[in-house]
Amino acid sequence: VLYKRALARFPSEYRLWDHYVEHCRTYRKIVEGSEALAKMLNYHADKPKAWIRAIDWEYREAKNMHTARHFAVRGLQQHPTCAEIHLVFIGIQMAEATKLVKEVKETAEEMIAEQNVSLCKQLESAALVYENYEHKDVAFFAKLLEQLSEYRPLSNSLAERALEEMHTLFADKSEDMWNMLANLALDGNPFLVEGTDEVKKTATLKQRLTLCIETFRKGLDRLPTKKLYSHYIETMLKLNATQSDDMAEEKAKRKALAGAFRETLEADQMEEEKLVQYLKLLLLNENPKDELVMNVINKGLQQFPHSSDIWTQYLRYLVQKEADLKEVERIFHKAMNCLDSDEKKLPVWKMLLQYYQTRPDLPDRVEKFFLQAIQQSPTISHYFQPLYLDFLLFAKNGIAEVRKEYNRLVKNFTTTLELHQKMASLEAAETQPNVSEWRNCLEQATHFYGKSTATVWLDYIRFEIEHGSPRKMQTLYERAKGMLDEETFAVFLPEYELLKNPLL
Per-residue model confidence (pLDDT) at position 197: 56
Q: What is the pLDDT of residues 410-421, one digit of tens each?
A: 999 999 999 999
Q: Is the pLDDT of residue 374 over 60?
A: yes
> Do 279 and 257 fall into the same domain?
no
**Which helix H or strand E contains 463, and what residues bound it?**
helix 454-466
pLDDT tens readout for residues 255-281: 999 999 999 999 999 999 999 999 999
What is the pLDDT, as a whole number, of residue 200?
Answer: 56
Question: SS3 string of 232-255?
Answer: HHHHHHHHHCCCCCCHHHHHHHHH
The predicted structure's pLDDT at residue 11: 76
Instruction: Give 28 or 259, the one with higher predicted confidence.
Output: 259
Residue 146 in 3-state DSSP? Answer: helix
Q: How far is CA 93 from CA 105, 123, 140, 159, 252, in A?
A: 20, 7, 17, 14, 41
The answer, yes or no, to whether residue 17 has pLDDT greater than 70, is yes
Out of 107-121, 162-176, 272-286, 414-428, pick the least confident.
107-121
Give the whole-angstrom CA distance, residue 71 versus residue 78. 10
In the DSSP assignment, the letter for residue 484 is S
- 201 and 246 share a domain? yes
- Cβ atoms 233, 274 nearer than 8 A: yes
Within its chain, how far is the Cα of 301 from the centroid? 26
**End-of-domain residue from the set 303, 327, 361:** 361
**329 belongs to a structural domain:** yes
Question: Do 291 and 245 share a structural domain?
Answer: no
Judge whether residue 482 has pLDDT over 60.
yes
Q: What is the pLDDT of residue 2?
A: 65
How far is C-alpha 319 from the chain's CA centre? Answer: 30
Q: Is the pLDDT of residue 340 over 80?
A: yes
Q: Are residues 470 and 495 in the same domain?
A: yes
Please check whether residues 207 and 259 belong to one and the same domain: yes
Average of pLDDT values for 192-214?
A: 76
Is the same domain home to 262 and 189? yes
Q: Is 70 exceeded by the pLDDT of residue 195? A: no
Q: State the Cα–Cα distance between residues 384 and 97, nearest whole angstrom.
A: 71
Least confident segment among 87-101, 164-178, 184-198: 184-198
Same domain for 496 and 474 = yes
Residue 123 placed within a domain: no
Q: How much helix, strand and coil, in percent to the nearest 5, is found in the chain?
A: 75, 0, 25
Mean pLDDT of the 123-128 span: 91
Cα dist. 432→124, 402, 407 in Å?
Answer: 89, 16, 20
Give the C-alpha separation, 231 to 85, whole Å.
29
Asked whether residue 430 is assigned to any structural domain, the reply reads yes
Judgement on whether residues 429 and 479 belong to the same structural domain of the protein:
no
| pLDDT value of residue 418 | 96
Give the distance from CA 324 to its chain's centroid. 38
* 171: DSSP letter: T
Residue 151 and residue 158: Cα distance in Å, rounded? Answer: 11
Residue 201 has pLDDT above 90, yes or no: no
pLDDT at site 427: 95
Query: Is the same domain home to 277 and 350?
Result: yes
Instruction: List CB contacts of 233: < 8 A, sequence separation 6 or more.
Output: 257, 260, 261, 264, 274, 277
Mean pLDDT on 353-363: 88
Query: Looking at the domain assignment, is residue 113 inside a domain?
Result: no
Structural domain contains residue 381: yes
Average pLDDT over residues 77-100: 92
Share of the chain above pLDDT 70, in %: 97
Domain region containing 333: 271-361
Residue 111 pLDDT > 90: no
Q: Are residues 239 and 288 in the same domain?
A: no
> In the predicted model, is pLDDT for residue 366 greater than 80?
yes
Q: What is the model's pLDDT at position 194? A: 66
Per-residue pLDDT at 245 exceeds 90: no
User: Following CA atoms 227, 232, 233, 239 in sequence, which dihedral angle do they give, to the nearest 10 degrees?
Assistant: 140
Residue 483 has pLDDT above 90, yes or no: yes
- Span of 42-46, 135-139, 332-336 with lowest mean pLDDT: 42-46
Report the number of distinct structural domains present in the chain: 4
Query: Stretch 110-120: mean pLDDT, rounded?
Result: 78
Beta strands in 335-437 (DSSP E): none
Residue 326: its pLDDT value, please? Answer: 94
pLDDT surpasses 90 at 21: no
Which of 238, 267, 296 finishes a domain?
A: 267
Mean pLDDT of 21-44: 84
Distance CA 255, CA 233 (A): 12
Closest CA to 88 of 119, 116, 51, 120: 51
- Does 34 map to a domain? no
455 shares a domain with 439? no
Residue 178 has pLDDT above 80, yes or no: yes
Q: Is residue 52 part of a domain?
A: no
Looking at the predicted structure, is the pLDDT value of residue 41 above 80?
yes
For position 22, what pLDDT does the model report?
A: 83
Looking at residue 294, its pLDDT comes to: 96
Say whether both 178 and 241 belong to one domain: yes
The residue type found at 56 is D
Domain end point (choices 219, 240, 267): 267
- Can the peptide bond before residue 153 be classed as cis, meaning omega within 30 degrees of 0? yes
Mean pLDDT of the chain: 90
In a domain, 325, yes or no: yes
Q: Are 491 and 454 in contact (CB under 8 A)?
A: yes
**Number of residues assigned to the chain:** 504
CB 155, CB 205: distance < 8 Å: no
pLDDT given at position 504:
54
* Residues in contact with 222: Cβ distance below 8 Å, sequence separation at least 6, in sequence order: 171, 172
